Amino acid sequence: MIPLPAEFTTSVVSAQGVGKRYGPTVALHDVSLTVRPGESHALVGRNGAGKSTLVSLVTGLSKPDTGTIEFGGEPAPPLSQREAWRQRVACVYQYSTVIPHLTVAENLFLNRQSGGRFAISWKKLRAQSRDLLDSWGVEVDVDTPAGELSVEDRQFVEIARALSYGARFIVLDEPTAQLDRQAIERLFARMRDLQAAGVTFLFISHHLHEVYDVCQAVTVLRDARHVVTAPVAELSRAELIDAMTGGQGGLVVADAASRDRLADDSADAVTVTELSGDAFEDVTFRLRRGEVLGIAGSNASGKHQLAETVYGLRKPSAGSISVAGKPLEPGDVQAAMRAGIGCVPRDRHHQGLVLGLSVADNTTLSILDRLGPAGIASPGKRFKLAEKAVADYGIVTTGPEEPVSSLSGGNQQKVVLARSLASDPVVLVLINPTAGVDVKSKQALLAVVDHVRAEGKAVLIVSDELDDLRLADRVLVMRAGHVVAEHEAGWPDGDLVADIEGVELS
């Protein structure tokens, strides 16, 4: 770890040795963070590194299980004292928290309006709002409904609202995700002005070049642990990428580069042509039988929305999808299933399982029309298919009639995978397939993927996990809704992450 200069010891906020568990999941382990007055301090790490958990602790949304948090050398207030927290820290999230149908003035002083006991002095409210915005250089009309503001102006209004409580420490969580280049430059200019006025920022971004544009210090988290804190000027881009990626850990995954390719150039399973939709634009790719194609990118890249559009959960605004050479009806899950697409969605609890039903019910949901007239399945046939799924996919259960809600996360995900493959699809779409499961279950799930590929099916893996993507013959990288790079199997971690984060390692 690079040692910190002496001036880093004076802190606006100091979290020392904080840890947080949610059941068996370790969200943070012995993490420390010190942010000095007047700086912009970057907090970076891959998805799942612990950034959101740390932010929830330093903004008073949750309490650490271990460690301490101080503001200006004083212990953090109890969670119940919300006003005391507002006076110390505020968070401006990627998605705005302003109330769209209220005016800017009403949002700025919500529940703090001036006036008598039963009346609001609108004249005074507008004047206070104008004074507040003028004092921080925010040029918006206080009578404008907040929902009509640009994303950029809503962020400035939220920053001004936080400052009005007395907070001089602002957490900016992915503030540039929805901004164009000009708006980002204006945001950074405003941040520098506010820093000069004594405001301190904790800056979270997946775009690492922004860290070098606007931040003076950076803290890296990986696998819920603190890796390094250093001045930005002393940490090269390559060193920053290395700190974020580290080693592969306990999961052993065979790299696709070490196996023979099965893909047949003449056998397209899926063809996506100039496809545009929610959060992505003009995406084109071919996925062939016997091929695994990975799609990587930050959560704001549009990768999840693209995969959900291929499966029919979302309707595209332009472009086309064909399966085995036949056009696919857009925005229709049933049409996608009939065409031969199976899917493991990114949220197994809300999109992949019916938690109140049994393992047998869930594993056969996608083929009920094949088990009997009008979808009425013979209990014996359903039970026999479920027993086979339990054996084939290694689902640990007391039996097919056990409620799926009683299973562990890894075994629930195996049930979702079994359901998606029950119809013998041509194409399998996997969205974050190993999220929230243990190492043993991850290995079992990824082994099934390799088996499916060997059968000649096509697989599309969209994942935040580098290990999931190692199975891919090719990985497309998305950033800001566009495909910006392609990597063949055998890619170095640093090169892939650099493209995801938008930095030049040289």
Q: Is-contact 421 452, C-beta < 8 A?
A: yes
Q: Are residues 475 and 334 part of one domain?
A: yes
Domain total of the chain: 3
Q: Which two tokens stand for residue 184?
A: 């980002």
CA dist 171 to 27, 157, 218, 221, Å?
19, 14, 14, 16
What's 234's DSSP letter? G
Tell me which of 402, 424, 446 is where a domain ends.
Answer: 424
Helical H segments across 402-503, by residue range: 409-422, 439-454, 466-469, 493-501
Query: What one-letter code names the amino acid at 332?
Result: D
Q: Is 490 exposed, middle or buried (0-12, 13-18, 19+ CB in 10 A)?
A: exposed
Q: Are residues 357 and 323 in the same domain?
A: no
Query: What is the rounded CA–CA span in Å between residue 434 and residue 241?
Result: 23
Neighbours of 492 (CB within 10 A): 12
Residues 209 and 358 in one domain: no
The terminus-to-terminus CA distance of the chain in angstroms comes to: 22
Which regions of 134-223 does DSSP assign to beta strands (E)?
Answer: 169-173, 200-204, 217-222
> Does 366 share its domain with 416?
yes
Last residue of a domain, one of 192, 217, 245: 245
Tokens read off for 456: 């000649």
> Residues 76, 168: one domain?
yes
SS3 366: helix
Let me know whether 187 and 271 are in one domain: no
Q: Are residues 237 and 378 in the same domain?
A: no
On whether both 86 and 177 belong to a single domain, the answer is yes
- Indicate whether 182 and 318 sit together in one domain: no
CATH of the domain at 465: 3.40.50.300
User: How does pLDDT run along the chain (506 residues), one tens digit per residue?
Assistant: 333 344 444 789 999 999 999 888 899 999 999 999 999 999 998 777 899 899 999 999 999 999 999 999 999 999 999 999 989 998 988 777 888 889 999 989 887 766 656 677 788 888 988 888 888 878 889 999 988 988 888 888 988 888 888 889 999 988 887 777 788 888 899 899 999 989 999 999 877 888 999 999 999 999 899 999 999 999 998 889 889 887 444 455 668 888 877 766 667 899 999 999 999 999 999 999 999 999 999 888 999 999 999 999 999 999 999 999 999 999 999 999 999 999 999 888 888 899 889 999 999 888 877 776 665 667 778 888 889 999 999 998 999 999 999 888 888 999 999 999 999 999 999 998 987 676 678 888 899 988 899 999 999 999 988 889 999 999 999 999 999 999 999 999 889 989 998 887 76
280/311 same-domain check: yes
Verify that 168 and 305 share a domain, yes or no: no
Within a domain: residue 34? yes
Q: What is the pLDDT of residue 284?
A: 97
Q: Is residue 399 part of a domain?
A: yes
> Are the CB atoms for 124 and 116 separated by under 8 Å?
no
Residue 506 within any structural domain of the chain:
no
Identify whether 469 is part of a domain: yes
Q: How far from 308 is each of 182, 302, 477, CA to CA, in Å? A: 30, 10, 17
Residue 105 in any domain: the answer is no
Residue 87 placed within a domain: yes
Centroid of chain to Cα 34? 25
Which structural domain, as residue segments, surrounds residue 438? 262-340+429-501
pLDDT at 247 (0 to 100): 47
125 domain residue, yes or no: no
Residue 461 domain-assigned?
Answer: yes
Domain-ending residue, one of 408, 424, 440: 424
192 and 280 share one domain: no
